[in-house]
C-alpha cells in the first residue's frame, strides 16, 4: 500500500537504479523516515534529497526495494497497473509478429507430419501475431518487478517472487484478461507457479494452485509448427521454456537431411524442431525419465516417431561413450541447465561449460554444426564465448560463428547506462560451424 515513508540512500550508492536497473540493496540505504509494513510503496530519495521514484520495500530481503516507477509523484493504483499491463501486451503484439510463409517444411511434410502445414511461425515476415504461446509479462523488463506471466494458448501461468507484488498479482491477472479479451482472446484459466526457492528470500511461502476456477491444466500449444502438450502444474518453471522459441526456429534452417544430437532435450523441443525441418535422424538425451516420456509423446503427436527418438541418459557420461563408439553428427545441440545460479559458483560453472562443449565438439563431423548456450545471467556473453573458444582449442577444432542469439523478444532485455540489467539478460545462444584444424 502507499504511504509517506521516505527512504534515503547513502552518498555514492544507488548505482544500480541510476544506471537503469530496478533494485536497491539493503547496504545502499542510509535512513528510513516514517512507518511502513513490508510490501508498502515508499518514496526513494538520493542522499541529497533528490526524488528517484517509488518502489515497494521488504526488510526480509537483501533486495530491499524494487522500483515500480521513476516518478516520485506517480500513484501505484489500478490505472497505473492497467497501463503497465496494456503496454506489455502491445509490445508483444508488435515484436512477436510471425507467419513465416517463406519456409515450407518439405522434409516433415513428406513424412506426413505437422510439417505438412504450409508454413511455420517466423519472425516478422507477414505481421500475423505469433502469440499462441509467449511470455506476456517479464518482471523488471516490463517495469512490473517480481512477477512473470506466461501464456499457453488459452491459459495463463503466474509466477510471483516478490512480497510487494503479492498485493497486485490478482489485479494484474484480471487486467491482463481484460486486455486480451479486447483482442478476442478468451482465457479459460489461470494457474500460479510461485514455487521457486527465491520466495524464501522474500519471507514468502511457496505457492502453487489455481487463481480462480479449476480447469484442465494439460494445455496444447503450437510453437514453430510443432505441437506440444504442456503440463503447467508439473512442468519445469511455468511448464515450458518459451525463451528459446526463435533459437529453435533458427536451428530448423540447418537441420534438413542431417543427423542431429539434442543434449538436455527436456520436452524434446530442439529435437522436434530438427525433425519437423526434415532431419533424417534425431536423437534426444535427457537424465529425466519423465522428460523423456513427455518428449516421446510429443514426437508421436507430431508424427515424427520414426525419425526423432529419445532416451534417458546422463549427458556428461553419455557423450564420451558415443565418441568411443565412433559416432559423429552433422548437428550437436547443447542446451544445459544453468550450471550456476550465484556469482560465487561461476568458477565451477565455467569448468562445466568447458567440459560439455569439449565433449560435444568431439562428436561433430568436419563441417558440421554446434549450437551451444547458457541460461545463467552470471555466465556473461563474453565469459561463455571465451569458455567455448577454450573448449574448441582443447579438442583441436576451429569454429566459424554462424550467429549469436539471445532470448526471444517476449523476454525483453532491459538496457542500463553501464550494462544490461542482469536479471533480464540471461540467455546466450551461439551457432557455430565446426571444422578440423587445417
The residues annotated with a catalytic role in the active site are 375
The grid coordinates of residue 324 equal: 568411443
d(CA 95, CA 124): 7
Q: Are 298 and 223 in contact (CB under 8 A)?
A: no
d(CA 199, CA 196): 6
d(CA 108, CA 279): 8
Q: Estimate to the nearest angstrom the gap between the alpha carbon of 29 and the chain centroid.
A: 32
d(CA 259, CA 346): 33
d(CA 68, CA 140): 9
End-to-end distance of the chain based on CA atoms, in angstroms? 66
Give the helix ranges, DSSP H, for 49-120. Answer: 78-95, 106-110
Beta strands in 29-83 (DSSP E): 29-33, 41-45, 51-57, 63-69
List of residues 6+ apart from 234 with CB closer than 8 A: none
Amino acid at each position: 500500500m502507499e504511504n509517506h515513508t521516505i527512504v534515503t540512500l547513502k552518498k555514492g550508492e544507488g548505482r544500480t537504479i541510476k544506471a537503469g536497473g530496478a533494485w536497491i540493496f539493503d547496504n545502499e540505504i542510509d535512513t528510513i523516515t516514517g512507518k511502513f509494513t513490508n510490501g508498502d510503496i515508499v518514496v526513494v530519495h538520493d542522499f541529497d534529497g533528490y526524488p528517484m521514484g517509488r518502489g515497494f520495500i521488504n526488510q526480509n530481503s537483501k533486495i530491499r526495494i524494487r522500483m515500480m516507477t521513476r516518478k516520485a509523484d506517480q500513484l501505484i493504483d489500478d490505472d497505473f497497473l492497467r497501463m503497465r499491463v496494456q503496454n506489455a501486451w502491445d509490445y508483444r503484439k508488435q515484436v512477436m509478429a510471425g507467419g513465416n510463409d517463406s519456409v515450407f517444411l518439405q522434409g516433415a511434410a513428406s513424412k506426413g507430419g505437422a510439417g505438412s502445414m504450409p508454413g511455420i511461425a517466423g519472425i516478422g515476415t507477414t505481421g500475423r501475431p505469433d502469440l499462441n504461446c509467449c511470455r506476456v509479462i517479464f518482471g523488471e523488463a516490463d517495469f512490473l518487478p517480481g512477477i512473470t506471466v506466461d501464456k499457453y494458448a488459452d491459459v495463463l501461468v503466474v509466477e510471483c517472487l516478490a512480497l510487494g507484488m503479492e498485493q497486485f498479482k490478482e489485479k494484474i491477472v484480471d487486467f491482463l484478461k481484460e486486455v486480451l479479451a479486447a483482442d478476442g482472446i478468451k482465457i479459460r484459466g489461470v494457474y500460479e507457479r510461485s514455487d521457486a526457492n527465491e520466495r524464501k528470500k522474500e519471507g514468502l511461502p511457496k505457492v502453487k494452485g489455481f487463481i480462480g476456477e479449476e480447469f484442465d491444466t494439460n494445455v496444447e500449444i503450437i510453437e514453430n509448427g510443432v505441437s506440444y502438450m504442456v503440463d503447467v502444474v508439473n512442468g519445469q518453471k511455468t511448464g515450458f521454456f518459451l525463451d528459446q522459441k526463435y533459437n529453435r526456429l533458427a536451428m530448423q534452417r540447418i537441420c534438413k537431411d542431417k543427423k542431429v544430437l539434442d543434449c538436455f532435450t527436456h520436452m524434446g523441443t530442439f529435437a522436434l524442431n530438427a525433425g519437423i525441418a526434415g532431419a533424417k535422424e534425431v536423437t534426444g538425451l535427457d537424465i529425466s525419465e519423465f522428460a523423456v516420456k513427455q518428449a516421446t509423446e510429443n514426437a508421436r503427436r507430431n508424427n515424427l516417431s520414426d525419425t526423432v527418438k529419445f532416451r534417458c541418459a546422463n549427458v556428461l557420461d553419455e557423450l564420451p561413450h558415443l565418441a568411443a563408439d565412433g559416432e559423429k553428427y552433422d548437428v550437436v545441440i547443447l542446451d544445459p541447465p544453468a550450471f550456476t545460479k550465484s556469482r560465487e559458483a561461476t568458477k565451477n560453472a565455467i569448468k562445466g561449460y568447458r567440459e560439455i562443449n569439449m565433449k560435444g565438439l568431439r562428436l561433430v563431423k568436419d563441417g558440421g554444426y554446434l549450437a551451444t548456450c547458457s541460461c545463467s545471467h552470471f555466465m556473461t556473453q563474453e565469459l561463455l564465448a571465451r569458455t567455448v573458444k577454450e573448449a574448441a582449442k582443447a579438442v583441436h577444432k576451429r569454429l566459424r560463428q554462424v550467429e549469436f542469439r539471445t532470448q526471444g523478444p517476449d523476454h525483453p532485455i532491459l538496457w542500463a547506462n553501464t550494462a544490461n540489467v542482469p536479471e533480464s539478460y540471461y540467455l546466450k545462444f551461439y551457432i557455430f560451424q565446426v571444422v578440423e584444424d587445417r
